[in-house]
């Protein structure tokens, strides 16, 4: 399932992108290919974090990134690695956003949950 989100660069520029919800990506919020990070100019938090992926163990760098989902900005840790074919949204989001499926209309949306 692909969703449109916005990546917000350090200089405030917004990039609308399609991101794949990966329910197998349970330990993170967002994963990007290393080639995408230069344009965003996000700050690095940590380097060479070992993670198990569908392709086996891989090393990722961790950056502080800002994204917009459902017109709300979030600053989150972003995993950055080599050879990722898609931008991935991790299942951590499902604790704070709601996945809404309107099958007959062919609409999938992510909406931020109201704080109780």
Query: Residue 65: what pLDDT?
Result: 97
- The tens place of each residue's pLDDT in the chain, 116 residues long, gives 788 899 999 999 999 999 998 988 888 999 999 999 989 999 999 999 988 877 778 899 999 999 999 899 999 999 999 989 999 999 888 888 887 777 787 777 777 766 55
- Cα–Cα distance list, 19 to 45, 50, 51, 63, 85 (Å): 22, 22, 20, 17, 11
SS3 34: helix
Residue ranges making up the domain that contains 26? 2-112
Considering its fold, how many domains does the chain have in total?
1
- C-alpha 115 chain-centroid distance: 21
pTM score of the predicted model: 0.85
Domain with 15 in it: what CATH number?
2.40.70.10
Query: What is the per-residue pLDDT for 98?
Result: 80
- pLDDT, residue 95, reads 84
């Amino acid at each position: 399932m692909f969703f449109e989100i916005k990546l917000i660069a350090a200089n405030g520029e917004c990039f609308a992108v399609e991101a794949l919800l990966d329910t197998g990506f349970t330990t993170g919020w967002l994963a990007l290919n290393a080639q995408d990070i230069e344009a965003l100019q996000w700050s690095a938090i940590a380097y060479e974090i070992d993670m198990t992926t569908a392709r086996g163990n891989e090393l990722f760098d961790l950056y502080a990134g800002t994204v917009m989902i459902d017109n709300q900005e979030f600053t989150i840790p972003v995993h950055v690695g080599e050879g990722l074919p898609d931008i991935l949204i991790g299942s951590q989001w499902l604790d704070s956003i709601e996945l809404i499926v309107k099958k007959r209309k062919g609409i999938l949306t992510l909406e931020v949950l109201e704080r109780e």
